[in-house]
Amino acid sequence: MEESLTLKKLRERFPASIIDTHSFRGDDTAVVKRVDVVDICRFLKESPDLSYNFLMDLTAVDYLQMNNPPKTERFEVVYHLYSIKYNHRVRIKAPLTEADPTIDSLTPLWAVANWLERECWDMFGIRFDGHPDLKRILLYEQFEGHPLRKDYPLTGRQPLIGPKN
Amino acid sequence: MEKTATLARELNIREMTLHMGPSHPAMHGTIRMFLELDGETVVSSDVEIGYLHRGFEKTCENRTYHQAIIYTDRLNYVSPLINNFGYAMAVEKLFGVDVPERCKYIRVIMSEICRITDHLTNVGASAMELGAITAFLYMIKAREMLWKLIEEVAGGRGVTPSYVRIGGVKDDLPEGFQGRTLEAFKVTREVLQEIHGLLTKNRIFVDRTKGVGAITADEAMSYGFTGPCLRSTGVAYDVRKAQPYMVYDKMNFEVPVGTNGDNYDRYLVRMEEIQQSMRICEQALFSMPPGPIKIDDPRITFPSKKDVYGKMESLINHFKLFMNGHGIMPPKGEVYQAVEGANGELGFYVISDGSGRPYRLRCRPPCFMIMSGVSRLVNGGMVADIVPTFGSVNMIGGECDR
Amino acid sequence: MAIESALGESVVLTRTDKVLGWARKYSLFLYPFVTACCGMEYMATAASHYDIDRFGAGLPRFSPRQADVLFVVGTISHKQAPILKRVWEQMCEPKWVVAFGGCTCSGGPYDNYATVQGIDTIVPVDVYIPGCPPRPETVLDGIMKLQEKIQNQKQEL
Ligand code: SF4
C-alpha cells in the first residue's frame, strides 16, 4: 500500500526518530522517540502542506498486561492530530519506560494540551515536562495511585468519607 | 485616577475569591469554579471538574465488547444513541466489516433524533437559567414526543436506550414509525417557531447573550473546540461533512455557522441544527431501503431471540457469544473512529489484543475540550454572565468527567 | 387539665401529628442534587408532561436551608460525597432524603474505584427509587411513598 503523505514527510524530516509506522484500517500511525515529540508535532502543525491544526486527543496506554505480543516499554502516549485544511488525521505514539514515564509537554503548541496532560497524569502518572500546573484533574488530591494503570485494581476505592469499601 | 485609588483605599476594596458550585443550580452539580473578582468583573478563574468521574474507561476494560455498550449510553446521556453508534462503529472498524445499508439509515435517523433532543434540552435549560421557564417547558414538551419515538424503537426512554449492537442494531423500526416521526417533527417545528418568538428577539435574552462569552476561531481551535461551539466562530467543521460516515454523504443538509462565537451565535447555530437534523431524518425516512439490519456473521452478531429459543445452533451460538472467555473477539489492532456528537467530535479509540475485552477504550469527549476553554470564555466578563456562557457550551458531566 | 387526662395524651398527640403530616406531605420543597443522567428524567418529571406539581412537590429550592427533601439524582462519586454530606447537614429538620436512580441506591452499573456504592453509606435515606434511570411514573410513585411515610411518622414540632 502506498504510504500516506504525512508518514512520508515525517520519515524524510525525522529519519532517526521514527521507530515504526503503520496504517491499520486506514489510520496512519507513527511510533516515534519521545525526545522528539514536540519537534514532530510542531513540524506537523506548522508545515504548510500538512497543517495539523487540531490536537484532537491525547491519551496514554499501559501495556503492562499486553501479551500479544508483549511490549518492551510499559507506557505509550498517544496523540491524535487532525487538519481542518486537508481533512486528514494522524496518530503519533511515543513509548515511555516504566522507570521514567516523562515526556515533554505540548502546552506551547495547543492550549487544550494543558487539561489533556493533566488527565494523563491523573490517570497514568505520566509526567509532562514544561507543563505549567501538573495536578490531578478528575480525581481528588488525596487519591493515591493512578487508576488507569493496569496494576490498579478496578474496585480500589479510596473514599474521603464514609466506610472504607 | 488618584481619586479612585484613594477611594478604593478608604473603602477597603480588594479582590475577592468566590467559589461557584459544585452544588449550584447552574453548575449542573458537577463543576466548581474558583473566581477572582474585582467588583463584579471576573479577573481570573479556574474550573475544577471530575465530580462525576465514574471510571468509564477502566470499567470498560473489564467488560466484554457488548457489555461496554451500556456504559457508552451514560457518557453523553442527552444524546446516548450517538455514543452507542460511535462506539459500535469503532469496534466494527476493528473487525473491518461494514453494516448493511438499512442499518446505516436507521442509525442516521436515530442519531439525528438524539441530536435534536440534545439541542432542545440544552437551549431549554440554558434559557431557563436566564429566567425563561416557558421556553424550557415548551422544549421539554417537544423532547418528550421525540423520546416516545426512541422508546418505541429502542425500548428505553431517551436517557439510556442501549439500542446498538455491534454489527447492527437491536431491532428494526416499528410499524408506522415514519408517520409518527413526521407528527413529532410537526410539533417540534411549532415549538421552534414559538421559541424563536420568545427568545430570538427578546431584549433580555439578547442582552445577556450577545457578545458574551465570545471566542475567536483560532483560539477555539487551539482549545480543541468542535461542534456548535466551533461552528459559531465561523469554522464549518462537521465530521458528518468532512469525513462522512454511515450514509451522511447521501443526505442533503447544511452546516450552519455563526460569526462571533458568542452565546447568541451558539444558540442560533443549535436552533438551526435542529432544523437540519429534521431535514436529514425526513430524507432518510423516505429513502430507506429494505433489507437486513445487522450483518450476518455468527462471530459478531447475536442470533435473533426467536431463533435462540427455537433452534439448537442459534442457542449454541448465543451461548458462545455470552460465555466468559468467548464473546466477540476483534482482531488485534487499534482504531480511532470519530462521529459528530451533539457537542462536537466524539471519538472512540479502541485497542484490541485479540481477546474478548477491549484492552484500552478511550473516549474523546468533546465537552472536556470545551470545558478547558471555559475559563478563557468567562475571564473579563461579569459574574452573572457565567451562567449563560456555561449554559451555552452545554457541559455534560457524564461525558466531560467520564 | 381534667379533660386531657381523661382522654389520655395519645389522642391529642395523634391528631396534631395527622394534621401536621397532612400539611407537610403536600408542601414538599425539593432540593434537587442533580449530578448525572438521572437528572434528565428528573427534568422530564418536573416538566409539564408528568407534572410533579400535582403532588405538591413542584417548587425546587436551590438552597439547602429552604428545602426539606433532598433529592439525590445521579451518581455520587467519592469526590462528590463530602459535598453531599455537607448539603444534607445544612438542611433544617424535618428533612428527608430520596435516592433517585440505581446509582444512588447501590452504585448502579458502576462498581469501581470512583463511585460510592449507595448513598446510604453517607446519609440516611428514606425512599429508594430504583431504575437506571427510573421512569417518571416510578418517580411519582416514589414521591407518593414518601408522602405516606411523612403522613404516618411522628411529627416533631
Ligand atoms: S442510575 Fe443510571 S441513569 Fe441514573 S445516574 Fe446512575 S447510571 Fe445514570
The alpha carbons of chain A give a radius of gyration, in whole angstroms, of: 17
Selected residue of C40, C41, C52, C123 to mutate for chain B interface (largest B Cβ count, 10 A):
C40
Taking Cα atoms as reference points, which of C116, B54, B30, C102 lies closest to residue A162? C116
- Which residue minimizes the CA distance to atom 2 of ligand 1? C132
H/E element, C11: helix C9-25
Does B103 have pLDDT greater than 80? Answer: yes
**For residue A157, is it within any domain?**
no
**For residue A15, is it within any domain?**
yes
Note whether B254 and B395 are same-domain residues.
yes
Note whether B26 and B94 are same-domain residues.
no
Using an 8 Å CB-CB cutoff, list chain C residues near A159. Answer: 78, 81, 116
Q: Going by C-beta distance under 8 Å and a sequence separation of 6 or more, which residues neighbour residue B64?
A: B327, B328, B356, B357
Does C5 have pLDDT greater than 70? Answer: no
Q: How far is B1 from chain A (nearest CA, A)?
A: 35
Q: How far is A160 from chain C (nearest CA, A)?
A: 6
The predicted pLDDT at position B41 comes to 84
The predicted pLDDT at position A20 comes to 82
The predicted pLDDT at position A2 comes to 61
The predicted pLDDT at position C2 comes to 58
- Which residues of A sit within 8 Å Cβ distance of C? 139-140, 147, 152-163
Condensed to tens digits (0 to 9), the pLDDT of residues A46-73 reads: 888 888 888 888 899 888 888 777 788 8
**For residue C99, is it within any domain?**
yes
**For residue C78, is it within any domain?**
yes
Q: Does the CB of A140 have a partner CB in chain B at under 8 Å?
A: yes
The stretch B159-186 carries a mean pLDDT of 86
C52-76 exposure pattern, b = at least 16 Cβ within 10 A, e = fewer: beebbbeebeeebeebbbbbbbbbb
- In whole numbers, what is the pLDDT of chain B averaged over residues? 85
Condensed to tens digits (0 to 9), the pLDDT of residues B194-250 reads: 888 888 888 888 888 888 888 888 888 888 888 888 888 888 888 888 888 888 888
User: How many A from CA of C1 to the centre of ligand 1?
Assistant: 56
Using an 8 Å CB-CB cutoff, list chain B residues near C62. Answer: 24-25
Does B288 have pLDDT greater than 80? Answer: yes
User: What is the rounded CA–CA span in Å between residue A127 and residue B228?
Assistant: 33
Q: In terms of residue numbers, what domain contains A106?
A: 5-129
Note whether B27 and B44 are same-domain residues.
yes
Does B29 have pLDDT greater than 70? Answer: no
**For residue A31, is it within any domain?**
yes
- Which residue minimizes the CA distance to atom 4 of ligand 1? C38
Note whether B302 and B341 are same-domain residues.
yes
User: What is the rounded CA–CA span in Å between residue B269 and residue B256?
Assistant: 6
Note whether B138 and B264 are same-domain residues.
yes
DSSP-H helix ranges across B175-258: 177-195, 203-209, 217-222, 228-231, 239-242
Note whether B13 and B76 are same-domain residues.
no
The predicted pLDDT at position A163 comes to 75
User: What is the rounded CA–CA span in Å between residue B341 and residue B241?
Assistant: 13
Taking Cα atoms as reference points, which of B46, B83, B71, B31 lies closest to residue B366? B83
User: What is the rounded CA–CA span in Å between residue A30 and residue A47?
Assistant: 17
Number of folded domains that form chain A: 1
The stretch B41-55 carries a mean pLDDT of 86
DSSP conformational letter for C154? P
Note whether B297 and B342 are same-domain residues.
yes
Residue of A nearest to B401 (CA): A138
The stretch C3-20 carries a mean pLDDT of 66
Using an 8 Å CB-CB cutoff, list chain C residues near B157. Answer: 41, 44, 133, 135
The predicted pLDDT at position C10 comes to 59
Does C156 have pLDDT greater than 80? Answer: no
User: What is the rounded CA–CA span in Å between residue A149 and residue A143?
Assistant: 14
Question: In the structure, what pLDDT confidence band is assigned to residue C83 with cuts at 50, 70 and 90?
Answer: confident
Strands (E), chain A: 18-22, 29-32, 54-62, 75-83, 88-96, 102-104, 127-129
The predicted pLDDT at position A25 comes to 82
Contact B234, B217 (CB under 8 A): yes
Question: In the structure, what pLDDT confidence band is assigned to residue A15 with cuts at 50, 70 and 90?
Answer: confident
The stretch B254-263 carries a mean pLDDT of 87
Taking Cα atoms as reference points, which of B161, B180, B185 lies closest to residue B171? B161
User: What is the rounded CA–CA span in Å between residue B264 and residue B19?
Assistant: 26
User: How many A from CA of A148 to the centre of ligand 1?
Assistant: 22
Reply yes or no: is the peptide bond before residue B22 cis, omega within 30 of 0: yes
**For residue A52, is it within any domain?**
yes
In ligand 1, which atom is closest to the CA atom of C37?
8
Q: Name the percent of chain C in helix, strand, coil, to the closest 5.
A: 45, 15, 40
DSSP conformational letter for B194? H
Q: Does the CB of B223 have a partner CB in chain A at under 8 Å?
A: yes
Residue of A nearest to B354 (CA): A68
The predicted pLDDT at position B357 comes to 85
Encoded amino acid at C107, one letter: G
Q: In terms of residue numbers, what domain contains C52?
A: 16-151
Does B84 have pLDDT greater than 80? Answer: yes
User: What is the rounded CA–CA span in Å between residue B253 and residue B366?
Assistant: 22
Whichever domain contains B348, its CATH number is 1.10.645.10
Distances (CA, A) of B200 to B30, B191, C152: 29, 13, 50
**For residue C47, is it within any domain?**
yes
Which of A43-57, B23-37, B92-106 is predicted least confidently? B23-37
**For residue C61, is it within any domain?**
yes
Q: In terms of residue numbers, what domain contains B130?
A: 56-400
SS (H, E, C) B196-213: HHHHHCCHHHHHHHCCCC
In ligand 1, which atom is closest to the CA atom of C36?
5
Q: Going by C-beta distance under 8 Å and a sequence separation of 6 or more, which residues neighbour residue A45?
A: A51, A52, A53, A81, A109
Question: In the structure, what pLDDT confidence band is assigned to residue B158 with cuts at 50, 70 and 90?
Answer: confident
Whichever domain contains A91, its CATH number is 3.30.460.80
Question: In the structure, what pLDDT confidence band is assigned to residue B392 with cuts at 50, 70 and 90?
Answer: confident
Distances (CA, A) of C86 to A163, B111, B210, C70, C72: 17, 40, 37, 12, 13
Instruction: Say which of A153, A156, A160 has its CB closest to residue C82.
Output: A160
Are C34 and B59 within 8 A, CB to CB? no
Does A87 have pLDDT greater than 60? Answer: yes
The stretch C105-113 carries a mean pLDDT of 86
Contact B229, B220 (CB under 8 A): yes
Number of folded domains that form chain C: 1
**For residue A120, is it within any domain?**
yes
Condensed to tens digits (0 to 9), the pLDDT of residues B342-384 reads: 888 888 999 988 888 888 889 888 888 888 888 888 888 888 8
The predicted pLDDT at position A22 comes to 81
Condensed to tens digits (0 to 9), the pLDDT of residues B297-342 reads: 878 888 878 888 888 888 888 888 887 777 788 888 889 988 988 8
User: How many A from CA of B145 to the centre of ligand 1?
Assistant: 22
Encoded amino acid at C33, one letter: F
Residues in chain A: 165
Are B335 and A80 within 8 A, CB to CB? no
Does A162 have pLDDT greater than 80? Answer: no
Question: In the structure, what pLDDT confidence band is assigned to residue C11 with cuts at 50, 70 and 90?
Answer: low
Note whether B71 and B206 are same-domain residues.
yes
Note whether B16 and B160 are same-domain residues.
no
DSSP conformational letter for B174? P
Whichever domain contains C63, its CATH number is 3.40.50.12280
**DSSP-derived secondary structure for A107-134:** TTT-TTHHHHHHHHHHHH--EEET-S--
ipTM of the complex: 0.89
Q: Which residues line ligand 1 (CB under 6 A)?
A: B 74, 159-160; C 36-38, 74-75, 101-103, 108-109, 132-133
Distances (CA, A) of A76 to A29, A84, B38: 13, 26, 44
B16-36 exposure pattern, b = at least 16 Cβ within 10 A, e = fewer: eeeebbbbbbbbbbbbbbebe
**For residue A165, is it within any domain?**
no
A131 sits in the region (left: phi over 0; alpha: psi -120 to 50; else beta) called beta
Q: Name the percent of chain B in helix, strand, coil, to the closest 5.
A: 50, 10, 35
Q: Does the CB of C104 have a partner CB in chain B at under 8 Å?
A: no
Q: Under DSSP, is residue A78 helix (H, G, I), strand (E, B) or coil?
A: strand
Instruction: Say which of B24, B58, B147 has its CB closest to residue C113.
Output: B58
Chains that touch C (3 or more CB pairs under 8 A): A, B
**For residue A135, is it within any domain?**
no
Are A154 and C121 within 8 A, CB to CB? no
Cell digits for A145? 495511585
Does B151 have pLDDT greater than 70? Answer: yes
Cell digits for C31? 432540593
Condensed to tens digits (0 to 9), the pLDDT of residues C27-71 reads: 888 888 888 888 888 888 888 888 888 888 878 888 888 888 888
Are A154 and C112 within 8 A, CB to CB? yes
Q: Does the CB of C65 have a partner CB in chain B at under 8 Å?
A: no
Contact B375, A133 (CB under 8 A): no
Encoded amino acid at C116, one letter: V
Percent of chain B with pLDDT over 70: 98
Number of folded domains that form chain B: 2
- Cα distance from N-terminal residue to C-terminal residue, chain B: 49
